[in-house]
A and B are shown apart, each in its own frame.
Chain A
Amino acid sequence: MSVEQQEPRRIYTPVADTPLVYRREPEDAHPPLDYEPYKSTALRHPTQPLVYLPHTLGEITGPALSERLGMTENDADLTRQHAGEPIGERIIVTGHVYDTEGKPLRDTLVEVWQANACGRYRHRWDRYPAPLDPNFSGAGRCLTDAEGRYTFTTIKPGPYPWGNHYNAWRPAHIHFSLMGRAFAQRLVTQMYFPGDPFFPYDPIFNSVRDPKLREAMISTFSIHKTQPDWAQCFEWDIYLRGPAATFFEEER
Chain B
Amino acid sequence: MNFTLTPSQTVGPYFAIGLPWSAGPHAVEPGTAGAFTIRGTIYDGHGDPIPDHLLETWQADPDGRFADMHGHGGPSELAGFHGFARCGAEDGDGSFEILTVKPGRIEDLQGRLQAPHLAVTLMARGMLNRVVTRIYFADETEANASDPVLARVASDRRDTLLAQPDPDGGYRFDIRVQGPGETVFFAV
- Cβ contacts under 8 Å, A168 to chain B: none
> With A68-B23, A138-B18 in contact, is A56–B107 under 8 Å at CB?
yes
- Cβ contacts under 8 Å, A112 to chain B: 18
Selected from A30, A56, A107, the residue in CB contact (under 8 A) with B7 is A30
Output the residue of B50, B58, B134, B148 with the most chain A CB within 10 A: B58
Closest to A14 in B: B72
- Cβ contacts under 8 Å, A241 to chain B: 5
Interface hits, B1-52 → A, CB 8 Å: 1-19, 21, 23, 44-46, 48, 50, 52
B17 touches A139 (CB 8 A): yes
B58 touches A183 (CB 8 A): yes
Selected from B4, B66, B70, B184, the residue in CB contact (under 8 A) with A212 is B4
B83 touches A63 (CB 8 A): yes
Interface hits, A154-190 → B, CB 8 Å: 175, 177, 181, 183-184, 186-190
A123 touches B16 (CB 8 A): yes
A183 touches B14 (CB 8 A): no
- Cβ contacts under 8 Å, A188 to chain B: 8-11, 15, 123, 130
- Cβ contacts under 8 Å, B168 to chain A: none
- Cβ contacts under 8 Å, A183 to chain B: 58, 119, 121, 188
Minimum CB–CB distance from A214 to chain B (whole Å) comes to 8
Tally chain B residues at the interface, Cβ within 8 Å.
90
Task: Verify if A130 is at the interface (C-beta below 8 Å from B).
Answer: no
Interface hits, A201-246 → B, CB 8 Å: 204-205, 207-208, 212-214, 216-217, 238-242
In the bound complex, how far is the Cα of B116 from the Cα of A1, in angstroms?
A: 13
Task: Verify if A59 is at the interface (C-beta below 8 Å from B).
Answer: yes
Size class of the contact patch on chain A: 35 or more
Selected from B1, B71, B143, the residue in CB contact (under 8 A) with A15 is B71
Selected from B73, B83, B131, B186, the residue in CB contact (under 8 A) with A33 is B131
> With A41-B128, A138-B17 in contact, is A46–B7 under 8 Å at CB?
no
Task: Verify if B108 is at the interface (C-beta below 8 Å from A).
Answer: yes
- Cβ contacts under 8 Å, A212 to chain B: 4
In the bound complex, how far is the Cα of B3 from the Cα of A26, in angstroms?
A: 13
Task: Verify if B79 is at the interface (C-beta below 8 Å from A).
Answer: no
Closest to B153 in A: A51
Closest to B4 in A: A216
B186 touches A51 (CB 8 A): yes
Task: Verify if A60 is at the interface (C-beta below 8 Å from B).
Answer: yes
Minimum CB–CB distance from A95 to chain B (whole Å) comes to 10
B84 touches A43 (CB 8 A): no
Closest to B5 in A: A29
Q: Known contacts A38-B10, A63-B58, A240-B6; can you find 7 more A-B pairs with CB under 8 A?
A: A9-B104, A31-B128, A53-B186, A122-B17, A125-B14, A177-B18, A186-B121
